[in-house]
């Protein structure tokens, strides 16, 4: 920078400090100029914010906008002509619907409806892309050009005017110490800058009809988008209503459960532990228990009196031999004959065995009346009480397992 330029910068700084700190008054501009300057400032703020909000309206996801900007920059660096578009939410929704509609298949009413809705959503996404392109060409780009050129030029003229005003006021305050020719040149430059700035602001404010036409283009693009969207949604609504009518007119298919396969377990030759099983004794039901060979299902909630030992069956048992007691899961079986008073404690001992004998659980369990019980039935008038086949084989194996001490409990009168 030349010496004259440094001196001019010093004059401006000195005058600015005098006005801000010392309260010195500078050259006043006329009211019309100030009013135009105020309107231009408001116009600049309005255009800047409207541009930002319009982009948010068209592309509401900030993460997607940032990603799209980065991809466009990379495309320009690589020289690619086609740039990736913004992922419209309608398109993403349509792809989701189509994917799941295909998974459900054509036999599903919901699947067919999802396919119809997905195709309509993809059409809406295409219409939204057209809206983006039209708004960018007819609204965003003209306003961006206004910001980059006209408003930027006006700001440059106003800034230059302020600098020349400070230079003129500094020299005017030191009139007599500054040559008259230099003062006259400063005043002429100030007036020239004021006229240029005033002309550019006046031109902008007088041609604001261009901004009105650009705003009208935005509204027209929105109207066109919404008309097409309404048409697409009307067609979709008609399709869905037609599908509802067709589905309602079809006869309903009744659900027919497949018959359950009966699993015949038979009578195992050996137990899980490898010990031979004792043959299941034949048992008969007492006349006080039930009147026929087929067990009568008893509600699980009805419990026998507390003074009468009983059990609740955990599994179904089909009798295979004469004299065996058959029962179903949930049946309550009452003990009609007990060999001696030590029978129940001995059965408790059988149930409370350590591993690995716990995997040999019987088909009935022993407990209190509130829990499940092990029950037995009298076999005629002969002495002796027996379990179901699965319980008998388990209890026999447990008593005869290797290494077990002789049971001091009662001896069972097995038949």
Q: Do 206 and 297 lie in a common domain?
A: no
Q: Model pTM?
A: 0.56
Q: How open is the CA angle 277-278-280, to the nearest 5 degrees?
A: 115
Q: Are 88 and 125 in contact (CB under 8 A)?
A: yes
Q: Do 181 and 328 lie in a common domain?
A: no
Q: Do 230 and 315 lie in a common domain?
A: no
Q: DSSP secondary-structure letter at 378?
A: E
CB burial of residue 295 (10 Å; 0-12, 13-18, 19+): buried
Which CATH number do you get for residue 23? 1.20.1270.60
Choose one of 180, 215, 249: the last residue of a domain.
249
Domain count, the chain: 2
User: What would the pLDDT profile of 33-62 be if each residue is shown by its tens digit?
Assistant: 999 999 999 999 999 999 999 999 998 888
Closest CA to 284 of 376, 375, 380, 386: 380
User: What would the pLDDT profile of 198-211 be if each residue is shown by its tens digit?
Assistant: 999 999 999 999 99
Q: Do 233 and 287 lie in a common domain?
A: no
Q: Do 244 and 277 lie in a common domain?
A: no
Q: What is the mean pLDDT of the chain?
A: 74
Q: Do 40 and 173 lie in a common domain?
A: yes
pLDDT grade for 409, boundaries at 50, 70 and 90: very low
Q: Do 186 and 49 lie in a common domain?
A: yes
Q: Do 294 and 343 lie in a common domain?
A: yes
Which residues make Cβ contacts (< 8 Å) with residue 44, sequence separation at least 6?
147, 151, 155
User: What would the pLDDT profile of 277-318 be if each residue is shown by its tens digit?
Assistant: 444 444 444 433 343 444 444 444 445 454 566 778 887 888
Separation between Cα atoms, residue 92 and residue 125, nearest integer Å: 9
Which residues make Cβ contacts (< 8 Å) with residue 86, sequence separation at least 6?
58, 59, 64, 65, 68, 129, 132
Q: Do 232 and 274 lie in a common domain?
A: no
Helices 109-135 and 31-58: angle between axes, nearest 10 degrees: 150
Domain-embedded: residue 261: no
**Structural Rg of the chain based on CA atoms:** 49
Whether omega for the bond prior to residue 356 falls within 30 degrees of 0, making it cis, is yes
pLDDT for residue 187 is more than 80 = yes
Give the range of the structural domain holding residue 393, as residue numbers without chain letter: 270-415
Choose one of 219, 249, 279: the last residue of a domain.
249
| Tally of CB atoms within 10 A around 43 | 19
Domain-embedded: residue 81: yes
Q: Do 243 and 274 lie in a common domain?
A: no
Q: Do 219 and 320 lie in a common domain?
A: no
**116-130, 148-162, 259-273: range with lowest mean pLDDT:** 259-273
Match 């105020």 to its residue by tokens. 38
Domain-embedded: residue 174: yes
Choose one of 215, 249, 283: the last residue of a domain.
249
pLDDT grade for 264, boundaries at 50, 70 and 90: low
């Amino acid at each position: 920078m030349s010496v004259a330029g440094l001196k001019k910068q010093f004059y401006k700084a000195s005058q600015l400090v005098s006005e801000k700190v010392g309260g010195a008054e500078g050259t006043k501009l006329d009211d019309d100029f100030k009013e135009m300057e105020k309107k231009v400032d408001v116009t600049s703020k309005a255009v800047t914010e409207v541009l930002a909000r319009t982009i948010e309206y068209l592309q509401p996801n900030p993460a997607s906008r940032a990603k799209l900007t980065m991809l466009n920059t990379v495309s320009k660096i690589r020289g690619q002509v086609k740039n990736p578009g913004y992922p419209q939410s309608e398109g993403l929704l349509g792809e989701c619907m189509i994917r799941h509609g295909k998974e459900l298949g054509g036999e599903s009413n919901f699947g067919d409806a999802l396919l119809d809705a997905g195709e309509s959503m993809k059409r809406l996404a295409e219409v939204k892309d057209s809206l983006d392109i039209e708004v960018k060409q007819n609204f965003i780009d003209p306003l961006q050009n206004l910001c980059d050129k006209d408003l930027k030029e006006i700001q440059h003229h106003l800034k230059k005017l302020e600098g020349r005003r400070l230079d003129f006021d500094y020299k005017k305050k030191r009139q007599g110490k500054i040559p008259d020719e230099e003062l006259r040149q400063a005043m002429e430059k100030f007036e020239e800058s004021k006229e240029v700035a005033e002309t550019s602001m006046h031109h902008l404010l007088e041609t604001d009809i261009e901004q009105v036409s650009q705003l009208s283009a935005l509204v027209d693009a929105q109207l066109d988008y919404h008309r097409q969207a309404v048409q697409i949604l009307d067609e979709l609504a008609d399709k869905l209503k037609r599908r509802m009518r067709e589905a309602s007119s079809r006869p309903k298919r009744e659900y027919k459960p497949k018959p359950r396969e009966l699993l015949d377990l038979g009578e195992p030759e050996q137990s899980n532990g490898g010990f031979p099983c004792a043959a299941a004794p034949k048992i008969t039901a007492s006349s006080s228990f039930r009147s026929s060979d087929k067990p009568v299902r008893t509600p699980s909630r009805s419990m026998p009196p507390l003074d009468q030992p009983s059990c609740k069956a955990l599994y179904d048992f089909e009798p295979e031999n004469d004299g065996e007691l058959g029962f179903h899961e949930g049946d309550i079986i009452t003990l009609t004959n007990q060999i001696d008073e030590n029978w129940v404690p001995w059965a408790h001992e059988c149930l409370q065995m350590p591993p690995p004998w716990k995997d040999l659980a019987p088909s009935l369990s022993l407990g209190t009346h509130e829990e499940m019980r092990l029950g037995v039935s009298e076999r005629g008038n002969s002495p002796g009480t027996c379990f179901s086949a699965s319980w008998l084989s388990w209890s026999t194996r447990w008593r005869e397992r290797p290494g077990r001490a002789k049971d001091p409990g009662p001896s069972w009168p097995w038949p």
